[in-house]
């Protein structure tokens, strides 16, 4: 993700850190930053660091770990909103579904609600992890993804068996026979084995999680810019204001 974000925001020093595991822990990174910054520099800056949580919606274990790491260092650290809800998450999930050949890659409008082949999805569940707030964020993404695909798309909590059961029942009632779970997660909020087991239980297939790509990287850059805007450091940019990555095929033509 750092490599994807750097072309959008080349001016700050970018780091990555984990909230779990033994290596590259966030608290260790923040302590290193504290050592590197002298008191004069810390007094002149509005904050010592900005953290962008790489979660698609409010995921409390991740946010709690970030808070605890900040408290352990004494740094002035600001934390942005999660990546979602955001309209571009629907685009990122569309990409993952298309990579698995479950939907068409192009944006579809005014099409039949029936999938054109037995391999393509006729219904999608946007899977969330993290409780009601995360499910609400997935609901926004589901509405936008449905508009892109022209098929039934519903949010579902992958960590709530009752909610997931209800969502699959709704798809079946809508006539869906080839459902796909599109995990609206960055990666390890829930293990792939657990998702695959849920899909097998309900006769569904699974696309890849959001992960790191140019779409999610652009959302990271926007979250960072939004935070700087609240500090009065810079004006919040629009999507068009962000520079395209070097070599990006969607760079504006002169």
Predicted confidence band of residue 106 (pLDDT cuts 50, 70, 90): low
Q: Which residue is listed with tokens 């770990």?
A: 65
Residue 249 has pLDDT above 50, yes or no: no
Please tell me the pTM assigned to this model.
Answer: 0.83
Gap between the Cα atoms of 185 and 128, Å rounded? 7
Q: Is the separation of the CB atoms in 128 and 56 below 8 Å?
A: yes
Give me the helices (H) in 37-131, please: 39-44, 60-73, 87-99
- Average pLDDT across the chain, whole number: 87
Mean pLDDT within 210-217: 95
Domain 87-206 in CATH 3.40.50:
yes
Mean pLDDT within 209-222: 96
Q: How confident is the model at residue 250, as a pLDDT? A: 43
Q: Is the separation of the CB atoms in 120 and 178 below 8 Å?
A: yes
Q: Where are the domains of the chain?
A: 2-83+213-241, 87-206
How many Cβ atoms from other residues are within 10 Å of residue 76's Cβ? Answer: 14
Beta strand 179-183 pairing with 152-157: unpaired
Q: How confident is the model at residue 47, as a pLDDT? A: 84
Q: How confident is the model at residue 247, as a pLDDT? A: 46
Mean pLDDT within 20-30: 88
186/36: higher pLDDT: 186
Q: Tens of pLDDT along 42-67?
A: 556 668 899 999 999 999 999 999 99
Q: How confident is the model at residue 252, as a pLDDT? A: 47
Q: How confident is the model at residue 42, as a pLDDT? A: 57
């Amino acid at each position: 993700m750092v490599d994807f974000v750097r072309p959008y925001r080349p001016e700050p020093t970018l780091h990555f850190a984990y909230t779990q595991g033994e290596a590259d822990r966030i608290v260790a990174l923040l302590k290193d930053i504290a050592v590197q910054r002298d008191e004069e520099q810390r007094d002149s800056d509005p904050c010592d660091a900005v953290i962008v949580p790489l979660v698609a919606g409010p995921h409390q274990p991740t946010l709690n770990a970030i808070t605890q790491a900040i408290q352990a260092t004494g740094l002035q650290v600001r934390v942005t909103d999660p990546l979602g809800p955001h309209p571009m998450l629907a685009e990122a999930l569309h990409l993952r579904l298309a990579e698995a050949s479950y939907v068409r890659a192009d944006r579809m409008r005014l099409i039949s609600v029936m999938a054109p082949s037995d391999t393509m999805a006729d219904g999608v569940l946007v899977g969330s992890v993290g409780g009601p707030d995360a499910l609400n964020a997935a609901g926004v993404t589901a509405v936008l993804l449905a508009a892109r695909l022209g098929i039934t798309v519903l949010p579902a909590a992958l960590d709530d068996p009752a909610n997931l059961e209800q969502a699959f029942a709704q798809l079946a009632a809508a006539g869906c026979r080839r459902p796909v779970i599109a995990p609206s997660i960055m990666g390890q909020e829930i293990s792939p084995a657990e998702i695959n087991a849920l899909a097998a239980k309900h006769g569904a297939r699974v696309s890849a999680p959001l992960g790191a790509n140019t779409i999610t990287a652009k959302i990271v850059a926007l979250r960072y810019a939004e935070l700087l805007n609240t500090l009065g450091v810079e004006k919040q940019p629009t999507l068009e204001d962000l520079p395209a990555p070097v070599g990006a095929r969607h760079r504006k033509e002169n």
